[in-house]
Chains A and B, each alone.
Chain A
Amino acid sequence: MAINTAANTLAKSQYSNYSNKVAITRATSEPVLVRRLLISVVIVFLGAFLILPLVAVFTEALRHGFATYFAAISDANALAAMKLTLIAALIAVPLNVVFGVSAAWAIAKFEFKSKSILITLIDLPFAVSPVIAGLIYILIFGMQGWFGSYLFDHDIKIIFAVPGIVLATIFVTFPFVARELIPLMQAQGKEEEEAGLVLGASGWQILWRITFPNIKWGLLYGVILTNARAMGEFGAVSAVSGHIIGMTNTMPLHIEILYADHQLAAAFAVASLLALLAIVTLIVKTFVEWRVAQNAIHNESI
């Protein structure tokens, strides 16, 4: 009897061991040790490359306390830089949104020859070094450029002035809205727009009442990303700005000057504002993806 029970227990424990093992290492997953190892490697990698830099920005910014922090971000030159950054973004973002919607409408709703070439050309600014983006506008509008003498005669300043900064900003943020909208609008097809047309809606009514409500979340992320890139652009703006403190300095250029001047806490204080903008951008992206997934589930259930 006693032996029997012991055998039973042994059998049971073997069985439970076996079932445990089955539960943990399913055919399409890895042993728990491998999983933990891979997760740890990824956490260490992302921790070193993403989390540590993000924490460092705010730690360095607040190293000398809140008083220094607020003094740095309310400094007259910092405020002038923020104002210029806002102006550049306020002009560049709407222009690129109009372009992005227009390009996505043509590419997603119609078939035409050499469409893939057009898409590649829209991607071009993404592959061009920001310094080169600045250089090409100097070649056109600079003193020795194509329109240099004309602009000089008429006392118009583009390079080393605000218009040059705006142009460089438009160039580097050129593809983002279009890239966000093209796949979205291609996936949605054009049946809804055609239905609107058949029911007598005009082109603009279709755009406002049908297309925009469908693409609003993708458009929102496109706008936020374009805005973050516009406010943060450094290389292109640096090449065309001339670094006139208080006049043609954007926030990233102001950060560079403070850093070169060894005013680390002040540099990181201004940098922390742009880092906050980046965090807001990531939150909006996560929210938009969640909304799109919700919509997909909603549509499937209908």
Chain B
Amino acid sequence: MFTKKNILPGFNLSLGYTILYLSLIVLIPLSAAFIKTAELSFNEFWEVVSAPRVVASYKLTFGASLIGALINAVFGLLTAWVLVRYKFPGKKILDALVDLPFALPTAVAGITLATLYSAHGWIGAWLELLSIKVASTPLGVIVALTFIGLPFVVRTVQPVLEDLEAETEEAAASLGANRWQTFSKIVFPAIWPALLTGFSLAFARAIGEYGSVIFIAGNLPFVSEITPLIIYIKLDEHEYAQATAVAVVMLVISFLLLFAINGLQWWLSRRNNSSY
């Protein structure tokens, strides 16, 4: 393979503008958070980020995000499967609606979920009969984070399922595999990387989520208070250094996750290219 000279114009201009705009809007402002944290000594930093109320919020945020992402992995895979493989009335509308959590403002989602799951709400009233309380409990946080992450698994798995060749499944069947064996041995290995990517995206999105959670969560310290809210409260009290310290912990974790997701996608695209 030989490399030919690229003759298209505008490389310096477009890349230069991209890097300038990226630096001004994203990179320099984000670096402000790390510089601000340097104002604290390590002991002060540690005291802020390991305070019991803050630690309780990490556990809730990461725990609820993980459960929400797992729920979405299961139901997202199922949704993608049903939308790709089966025909039923209303399928097109359901397919279009999957992106709703992505397009609906979080504050709207927040007050709607809070109303639906309140003790008198359409869903909350039924759960009340089973004495399950969702509003103002960690369960409420999980509900909101499941809603927020819903599109990701469906939208990463769906195109992979659509591209799967029917021949491999037919071959498996003709060799005597039953449907479950075909799924677990043939289909699942092909879609699990997409499933993992969708799961990580839903998880990453859930960790930082604020608007849809705070209305249904009730925000009780040590019970249903998420980490972004802790940052918000510290901001409101003008404790900027403390707010930034907690933010830096979240930023580092989010960045690691993002790099892991992009690394995963890069690895997958290489693996797919080399297999053809």
The chain A residues found within 8 Å of chain B, CB to CB, are 27-31, 34-35, 38-39, 41-43, 45-46, 48-54, 56-57, 60, 98-99, 102-103, 105-107, 109-112, 116, 118-132, 134-140, 142, 144-146, 167, 170-171, 174, 190, 193-194, 197, 202-203, 206-207, 225, 228-229, 231-235, 238-239, 251-253, 255-256, 259, 264, 267-268, 271, 274-275, 277-278, 281-283, 285-286
Contact = CB atoms under 8 A, between A and B. Distances in A.
B250 A129 contact: yes
A129 B207 contact: yes
Nearest to A104: B14
Interface string B92-108: 10101111111111111
Contacts of A171: 25-26, 29
Interface string B225-265: 00111011001000010011001001100110111001000
A285 B102 CA distance: 12
Nearest to B174: A27
In terms of DSSP, what is the predominant structure of the interface of chain B? helix
A235 B211 contact: yes
A202 B10 CA distance: 10
A228 B150 contact: no
Interface in B3-18: 6-11, 13-15, 17-18
A193 B52 CA distance: 59
A49 B99 CA distance: 12
B243 A135 contact: yes
Interface string B23-61: 001111110110010000000000000000000000000
A124 B258 contact: yes
A27 B210 contact: no
B261 to A, nearest CB: 8
B108 A57 contact: yes
A53 B112 contact: yes
Contact of A121 (B26, B33, B36, B97): B26
B126 to A, nearest CB: 11
B29 A228 contact: no
Given A46-B79, A271-B107, A132 B6 contact: no
Contact of B86 (A38, A144, A239): A38
A24 to B, nearest CB: 13
Contacts of B251: 128, 132
B66 to A, nearest CB: 16
B21 interface: yes
Given A45-B79, A50-B98, A194 B7 contact: yes
A190 B11 CA distance: 13
A17 B253 CA distance: 59
B208 A275 contact: no
Nearest to A134: B235
